[in-house]
Chain A
Amino acid sequence: MRLSKKFLSDYTNLNNIDFKSYADSMLKLGNEYESITNLVNATNLIIGEVIECNKHPESDHLKVCKVNIGKEILNIVCGAPNMRKGIKVIVALDGANVNGTIIKKSVILGVESNGMCCSLEELGIDKKFLKEEDINGIHELDKEAPVGEDPIKYLDLDDTIIDFELTANRGDLLSMLGLAYESAAITNEEVKLPDLTYKTSKENIKDLLELKVDSKDVYTFLVKRVNNIKIEESPVFIKNRLIACNVRSINNVVDISNYVMLETGQPLHFYDADKLGKVIEARNAINGETLITLDNQNRILSNEDIVITNGKNVVGLAGVMGGLDTEIDENTKNVVIESAIFNPINIRKTSKKLIRSEASIRFEKGLDVNRCYMAIERACNMLEKYASGKVLDGILEYNTLDRNEKEIEITLDKINSVLGYNLEVKDVETVFKKLNFKVSVKNNKFKVIVPTRRIDISIEEDLIEEVSRVYGVDNINSTLPIFESKPSYNNRKDRVVRDIMVGLGLNEVITYSLINLDDVFKFTNDEFGLIKILSPLTEERVVLRHSLITSLLDVYKYNKSRNIKDLSIFEISKCFSQINTEYIEENKLACLLTGSYTEGLNKEYHDFYTTKGIVESLLDSLGYSGRYSFVVKSFPEEMHPTKSAYISVGNKIVGLMGQVHPKISKDEVYVIEINLDLLFENKIGKIKFKEVSKFPGISKDLAFILPKEVKNEDVISTIKQGGGKLLSKVEVFDYYEGERIEKNKKSIAYNLYFESNEKTLSDDEINPFFDKIIELVVKKHNAILRDK
């Protein structure tokens, strides 16, 4: 909402306050603003009269002029087609700042030029507000323009604009009157109401027009008629106020409807009375009904739309746009004025479908019934004054809203309890008086009469807000809530997992939950229903993801295209699916590992086993040591078929790891995904201290040549079987496959550690077990003992 200082000054005095500090006070009252600007952004302008105008000797279109600016005569070179002797013009002097451009004395094709003659567009007035002749050339001032004076003042364009971003509840501030009341709370000045007087003719509207209202969504509908109007250009002050508020001037009659809307906040609609006929009706549209609106569009309507008809055909879309058939044009003689209030929800739906207009914005936010009455009177007053209209007697009136002011009672205790402060009766009283609310006090209890313009106020808390707004939270002290002490509840699982991953050298990423349809079934064999967005913004963000891996691959691709090839990243986020009517959200951890995980000399590179190591480190660190295994069964087709594994904890699969299938990524990219909700279904025991043996143990090494298909895991369990209780640890310390041994064979070397809590072991005690192990492995796995 653009506030024009000149326009607002018609209703309240702003002369006694600095405009910037006024704006800041408004800000604190909750009225944020985007900018404060002058309507015309220029300095050093002066009115001049062209006393001589000759062709430039070196140019086809330039003219060399002598311009009298009162105290001197300036030589100015000008290219405007309308520049000629005798006209009065706006001259920007040497050093003038014209909408950001500094004007300087110069020599143009050999002729000295000591200033610039300006068009209004050059001064920052938008083209859409200007007449044809003003767009093509410099602005011509009228004959009475005083040479040597300030042209902006003379044109009444010396206005300042604050561009407010108002909150959704303050529809009342979409009017100069509303802003005047709000300003009065800052300045303590009075609010002057507009002139609503006019003469009425003997003719009564009721004899010419019938009003029918047949919709519960029409709250108020007022109609008056003004005859014999004269369509012409608007007076300057109306045009300028409209420009200041960013509304285009059409003619005096149309401008008055806009002017009254800006003034009172009540949108009006004017019909050509002769085109309208004898009936005006408001009702809900019938599905499929059509209307050609003012913008020449054929609109197909539905039951939610409220329409105005002439009893037969639709002539307007209530609150949003009028129809072409009953439009005011240059031949209009008689005008029917509509001032109405509709159900804001209907207007909102209609305007969302069709077009947002200054009118619909106001209807949507809700209107004041008394202002609705005021606006129609004001329109009559202005049509009489500025369009020579004759106002007919009588009004067609339909109203379901209460015109009485609301009365709300509130105690001082309640106010102080919510604010946490000790205001006194007079503090609160002052606030209500500043807001122009009538207030009476008895036993610390306030009876507040809230004007109908404040449709946002209906309960005690609304009044408390007014008190805090006007009194100011800055003036209230600070405390902390007093509570019974208890430990805070917080689920630390995410954090623990994240900290482990960070400790393992991975970088956390956060990616979008919404992905494209192609990706959603990748990297999973799960069966689930999709959760799709009804109206997505782009095809890339259509469906909620079920796996994080495709998002991590996107991060990988992004970085790779920037020549970053080493990545160790992870994300912990919700994944989604629909099963029957239920929306499932599961917390998942995913990692993507590629390239090296060290920096500098002799880099180490991610492979299947480093990836597996990350899974194991995580699971060990969480307390699942010894409770997990890696399982092979059919993998999603995006995974490498032989270099992947499912992660099983407590005999239940909780995740997947392995290499991304080379058809998807030529580089070796490894991924992990673990469903944390499933993982944490496995209980974690408390940390228990286990005493360390005081006696030295015996370490022994063993190497076998094994058929390639024998799994290490199975060999280890055989070793454990033979090793008995004293065997405390078995570890693989070497693995070989290659030329030095037979094809289809592999060599694995194990370190065995025997230990007792009771005594120092001797070789004699261990050897029988050791021999037993060799015997078992050789027999069971078709192994050859390589080294002992």
Chain B
Amino acid sequence: MIEKLESIKNEALESINECMDEATLNNVKSKYIGKKSVFNEIMSEMSKLSQEEKREVGSKSNEVRNEITNMLELKLKSIKDEALNKKLENDKIDITLPSKKRRIGSRHPLTIVREQIEDLFISMGYDVVSGPEVESDLYCFEMLNLPKGHPARDAQDSFYITDEMLLRTHTSPVQVRSMLANAEKKPFKLICPGKTYRRDDDDATHSHQFSQIEGLVVGENISLSDLKGTLELFAKKMFGSGREIRFRSSYFPFTEPSYEVDVSCFKCDQKGCNICKGTGWIEILGCGMVHPNVLEGCGFDHKKYQGFAFGVGIERVASLKYGVTNMRDYFTNDYRFLKNFDRKEM
């Protein structure tokens, strides 16, 4: 019987080994260890054996059954694994097909630059204020020391709505508004971003609509060196830490002294290139010390208070930062243009 068991075992193991799928394996299982299996047949003959033989055969039969069962389990697992692997193999995809991607939103480049400048000045405690785009001649010009007939008005050809109202040509009228609104005539620091309009034909370097950021600081001892330090920070923040600035005397009726400020060329590092037109310097803004007539007109005693003001063209800064050469690009809003700005800058 022992020999029989041994031969069943060998036969079973061989059959198991040959199995290729779960069904065949189940057949093998019932054939060798199921209810009507050869194995059970032998077992049923156990009663005929002597006690000693029973023990011996019993032990052998357990061993054989365990071995077959183990083998069956192992085989089942391997068949299942193989089936799964096959299925997974069938699931194979082309990972190079395109994704299902959400489109990424973007801020307009002029917004990006404006917010960067705002953030710099917010971090230095400046208030951010705004004013109307439809402005009076009084605030836009007269109270800024630009009376009617003043030749400097030529530089700001305006869209008038009536004789007295116009689209603001610069953000400077907000200087007047803020100072008039400052009832206690206390020192303050502010910036004012916004849209501005001039009667220019649109081309690569001109736009009838553009945007500025105005800065104004008034206090008892505000000086030109404060203006210089502030604008140095501005230049480094916007154009890189290695930048220097230079002040050139200029003329704006609402500041005295007045300057135009150049930043050292960040493209060629002052070796001379097309951006700086070979000069090594790029003009970025106008500024100066608030004219006493403007202070007095807005109720600030010019003997007690001094102030500085500056005005930055946002398009100018954006064009320098991003290399945009045609002003019109900002306002035609070609999707391919906008898409350049759909990533975050660190």
List residues of A whose CB falls within 8 A of some B CB.
Answer: 27-30, 32, 167-170, 344-345, 348-349, 364-365, 417-421, 459, 461-462, 464-465, 468-469, 473-474, 476-491, 495, 498, 501-514, 531-537, 541, 544, 555, 558-559, 562, 564, 566-569, 573-574, 576, 583, 585, 597-602
Contacts and interface: CB of A to CB of B under 8 A. Distances in A.
Nearest to A600: B98
A468 B118 contact: no
A351 to B, nearest CB: 11
Contacts of B217: 481
27 contacts: A27-B248, A30-B249, A168-B152, A168-B251, A169-B253, A348-B151, A461-B289, A464-B257, A465-B249, A473-B228, A479-B223, A479-B228, A481-B222, A481-B226, A483-B187, A487-B125, A488-B125, A488-B128, A498-B107, A501-B105, A505-B102, A507-B105, A509-B108, A513-B167, A514-B197, A531-B161, A568-B103
Given A465-B256, A513-B209, A537-B199, A483 B248 contact: no
Given A507-B105, A510-B333, 18 more contacts: A169-B152, A169-B251, A417-B223, A418-B289, A464-B257, A476-B224, A477-B225, A484-B187, A487-B125, A490-B127, A502-B106, A507-B339, A507-B342, A510-B331, A513-B195, A537-B199, A598-B101, A599-B98
A505 B160 contact: no
Interface string B251-267: 10100111110000000
A419 B103 contact: no
B116 interface: no
Contact of B103 (A365, A508, A598): A598
A533 B209 contact: no
B148 interface: yes
Nearest to B155: A168
Given A461-B292, A483-B219, A562-B334, A597 B248 contact: no
Nearest to B97: A601
Contacts of B274: none
Contacts of A344: 149, 151
A360 B134 CA distance: 32
B115 A495 contact: yes
Contact of A502 (B105, B162, B333): B105
Given A30-B248, A473-B228, A576-B134, A602 B208 contact: no
A417 B338 CA distance: 47
A503 B104 CA distance: 8
Contact of A30 (B122, B132, B251, B342): B251
A534 B160 contact: yes
Contacts, number: 248
B250 A473 contact: no
Given A418-B224, A469-B257, A505 B105 contact: yes
Contact of B224 (A349, A468, A536): A468
Q: What 7 pairs between A and B have smallest CB-CB spacing?
A: A420-B223, A30-B249, A420-B225, A345-B149, A465-B257, A167-B251, A600-B98
A468 B122 contact: no
Interface in B176-200: 187, 189, 195, 197, 199
Interface in B194-213: 195, 197, 199, 201, 208-209
Contact of A600 (B99, B219, B256, B258): B99
Contacts of A509: 108, 333, 338
Interface string B105-141: 1111011000100100111111111101110000000
A23 to B, nearest CB: 11
A512 B209 contact: yes
B137 to A, nearest CB: 12
Interface residues of B, number: 89
B221 interface: yes
A600 B342 contact: no
B330 interface: yes
Contacts of B108: 508-510
Contact of B106 (A507, A513, A555, A602): A507
B105 A481 contact: no
B128 to A, nearest CB: 4
B125 A485 contact: yes
Tell which of B155, B160, B248, B339 has the most Cβ of chain A within 10 Å: B248
Given A27-B248, A474-B247, A507-B339, A488 B126 contact: yes
Contacts of B257: 461, 464-465, 468-469
A511 B228 contact: no
A504 B105 contact: yes
Interface of B: 97-108, 110-111, 115, 118, 121-130, 132-134, 148-152, 154-155, 159-162, 165, 167, 187, 189, 195, 197, 199, 201, 208-209, 217, 219, 221-226, 228-230, 232-233, 246-251, 253, 256-260, 289, 291-292, 306, 330-336, 338-339, 342
Given A169-B152, A477-B225, A506-B105, A461 B291 contact: yes
A468 B257 CA distance: 8
A597 B103 contact: yes
A87 to B, nearest CB: 41
B333 A420 contact: no
Contacts of B208: 512, 514, 537, 541
A585 B229 contact: no
Contacts of A585: 132-134
Contacts of A502: 105-107
A417 B106 CA distance: 46
Contacts of B151: 168, 344, 348, 364-365
Contacts of A490: 118, 122, 127-128
A476 B333 contact: no
Given A488-B128, A562-B334, A598 B100 contact: yes
Contacts of B100: 598-602
Contacts of B150: 168
Contacts of A600: 98-101
A283 to B, nearest CB: 20
A480 B160 contact: no
A478 B225 contact: yes
A482 B187 CA distance: 11
A598 B306 contact: no
A588 to B, nearest CB: 13
A483 B159 contact: no
Tell which of B121, B134, B165, B226 has the most Cβ of chain A within 10 Å: B134
B223 A418 contact: yes
Contacts of A364: 151
Contacts of A469: 249, 257
A590 B346 CA distance: 28
Given A476-B225, A598-B100, A30 B250 contact: yes
B186 to A, nearest CB: 9
A533 B122 contact: no
A650 B333 CA distance: 34
Contact of B226 (A420, A459, A505, A507): A420
Contacts of B225: 419-421, 476-479
Nearest to A485: B125
Contacts of B165: 583
Nearest to A30: B249
A598 B100 CA distance: 7
Given A489-B127, A490-B128, A478 B228 contact: yes
B308 to A, nearest CB: 8
A35 to B, nearest CB: 10
Nearest to B99: A600
A601 B106 contact: no
A559 B338 CA distance: 11
A469 B126 CA distance: 29
A530 B225 CA distance: 47
Given A502-B106, A598-B101, A486 B226 contact: no
A479 B333 contact: no
A493 to B, nearest CB: 11
A217 B99 CA distance: 77
A511 B208 CA distance: 11
B320 to A, nearest CB: 18
Nearest to B257: A465
